[in-house]
A and B are shown apart, each in its own frame.
Chain A
Amino acid sequence: MITPILLAALALVLAGPAPALMARAAWPYRIPRAAVALWQAIALAAVLAAFGAGISLSYSTAGQPGEPRFDPSSARDLAAAAVLALTALVGVRLLWAAGRVAVGTRARRKRHRDLVDVLATPDGLIPGLRVLAEETPLAYCLPALRGSRVVVSVGALDRLDDGELRAVLAHEQAHLRARHDLVLEAFTALHKAFPRFVRSDVALDQARTLVELLADDDARRRNGPLPLARALVALAGSPAPEAGLAAAKSSTVLRVQRLADPEPNSTLLAAAAYTAAVLLLVVPTFTVAAPIVKAVVNAVS
């Protein structure tokens, strides 16, 4: 009976307080790559722990490990079945959300790419770059396995010098190369599946910020911090029609401040984050798997 309680407690901690705490901390921004891994581990471990809790609760209620039984006249067994069904439902919901996000995002992206291809002019010098005849300053990328695009508006080109444009392109190419969109897609699916009770909004938000930092780091390594910071300020600082809608604090300030006042890389911190990520995944998995493996071994011998 202790396993389901421990796993449920772990799932609850990983779903609520842990994301809230980590989102408030500043240290993840010093180690964006390790921080992304840690967020992924937290999310995955929370899901695994929740499943583990449901499965082990239903098994420990109905019968002994190794000899599950089901007696419809027993209230205990019915409750166990209900817990198992609920666990399965959570799983189905998660898969459903993941499928919908994957299909929906790709469809929207494809439509957008079709529009870009007929509306924007390819730049002769930089392959994959499309220039959009719009005054609103805009730069973004359309990720894809094949045929990704980087789109820049004329309004953005007007505001950037060559070095700054190179920084923008390096940033976008980093997103495309590392497929940051897939990282975000997973967190989006999680958020769509459990929008309320789990702090999945925090996780998604942090993942968005962290992949920007990763792409920034790549651009900074190539061209130095100054052109990138100038490009960020030039494109963010210009008034745009939707400026009034900025409700949430944007990550832009954080990004420029990070370029202006860089903190030293911390190998130790990154190592600690990676270790925590591995432990988060290994410990609950073993807790769930160990009794099952033991039962199987007992049954065979």
Chain B
Amino acid sequence: MTTDEKAPRRLGDLERLVMEQLWAADGALTVREVHARLSGTRELAYTTVMTVLDRLAKKQLTERERDGKAWRYKAAAPREELAADLMRDALDRSGDRREALVRFVGQVSDEEAALLRDALARLEEREG
């Protein structure tokens, strides 16, 4: 497999779950609060949550502020904003972003869509 799934899989999954908690929360959360919210659904070590929040901060997906002895974390941007960023990347057909990912297929004009349907009909007839 070209995809690398073993170790990062768990942390990657947790990153998503932690972000979902931060997005759902009203304000910034401490590690303890995030841990408490996640513990309802799965067994998790406190230090694991700490590591995940730290990783997310390094990726600039969360922001943290000091609150007494503890850090409080909040999402760096609302989910919708990050999703819009992602879609802008993914749909970009010119410029630098285009090189970052390889799309299966782009959109075509009406004229081209007609040619596509013709070709597909020929193939369906032959194979079908």
Asked whether, in the complex, the Cβ of A232 is within 8 Å of the Cβ of B101, the reply is no
B window 80-115: CB within 8 A of A? 82-83, 85-87, 89-91, 93, 96-97, 99-109, 112-113, 115
| A-contact bits for B38-65, CB 8 A (1 contact / 0 none) | 0000000000000000001001010000
- Measured between beta carbons, the chain A residues less than 8 angstroms from B59 are 114
Whether the Cβ atoms of A235 and B104 lie closer than 8 Å is yes
- The complex places the Cα of A168 from the Cα of B79 at a distance, in Å, of 27
Which residue on chain B has the smallest CB distance to residue A211?
B102
Say whether, besides A115-B86, A122-B9, A256-B120, A237 and B79 are in contact (CB < 8 Å). no
Chain B residues, Cβ within 8 Å of A121: 16
Q: Assuming the A-B contacts A122-B9, A128-B3, are A253 and B120 also in contact, with contact meaning beta carbons closer than 8 angstroms in the complex?
A: no
Q: Is A185 an interface residue (CB 8 A)?
A: yes
Residue of B nearest to A175 (CB): B102
Q: Which of B2, B12, B101, B109 contacts A246 (CB 8 A)?
A: B109
Residues of B within 8 A of A229 (CB): 119-120, 123
Q: How many residues of B contact A (CB 8 A)?
A: 51
Interface code B1-39, partner A: CB below 8 Å = 1, 0 otherwise? 111110011001101100100000000000000000000
Tell me, yes or no, whether B66 is within 8 Å of chain A by CB: no
The complex places the Cα of A175 from the Cα of B3 at a distance, in Å, of 12
Q: Mark A86-127, 1 if CB is under 8 A from B, else 0.
A: 000000000000000100110011001011111101100001
Complex alpha-carbon distance, A128 and B3, angstroms: 5
A109 touches B1 (CB 8 A): no
Judged by a CB distance under 8 angstroms, whether B124 is at the interface is: yes
Asked if A240 and B91 make an inter-chain contact with CB atoms under 8 angstroms apart, the answer reads: yes
Residues of B within 8 A of A233 (CB): 116-117, 120
Contact between A140 and B116 (Cβ–Cβ < 8 Å)? Answer: no
With A224-B127, A252-B112 known to touch, is A185 a contact of B99 (CB < 8 Å)? yes
The CA of A249 and the CA of B16, in the complex, are separated in Å by 38
Per a CB cutoff under 8 Å, which of A112, A148, A184, A235 touches B4?
A148
Contact B1 A128 (CB under 8 A): yes
Residues on B with beta carbons closer than 8 Å to the beta carbon of A146: 4
Q: Report B-chain residues with C-beta under 8 Å of the C-beta of A140.
A: 90, 101-104
Is A34 close to B, CB under 8 A?
A: no
B16 contacts which chain A residues (CB < 8 A)?
117-119, 121
Q: Quick check: is A202 within 8 A (CB to CB) of the other chain?
A: no
- Check B115–A246 contact: CB distance below 8 A: no
Contacts of A255 in B (CB 8 A): 105
A151-B90, A260-B123 known; A134 and B83 CB under 8 Å? Answer: yes
Known: A112-B86, A236-B108, A241-B91. A253 touches B115 (CB 8 A): yes
Interchain residue pairs with CB less than 8 A apart (16):
A109-B101, A114-B61, A119-B82, A119-B83, A140-B103, A146-B4, A149-B3, A235-B105, A236-B113, A237-B117, A243-B107, A246-B108, A250-B108, A252-B116, A260-B122, A260-B126
Given contacts A141-B101, A148-B4, A242-B93, 7 further A-B contacts (CB under 8 A): A119-B86, A176-B2, A225-B123, A226-B124, A238-B107, A246-B93, A250-B107
Q: Which 7 A-B pairs have the closest CB atoms?
A: A128-B3, A139-B104, A260-B119, A260-B123, A108-B100, A140-B103, A118-B19
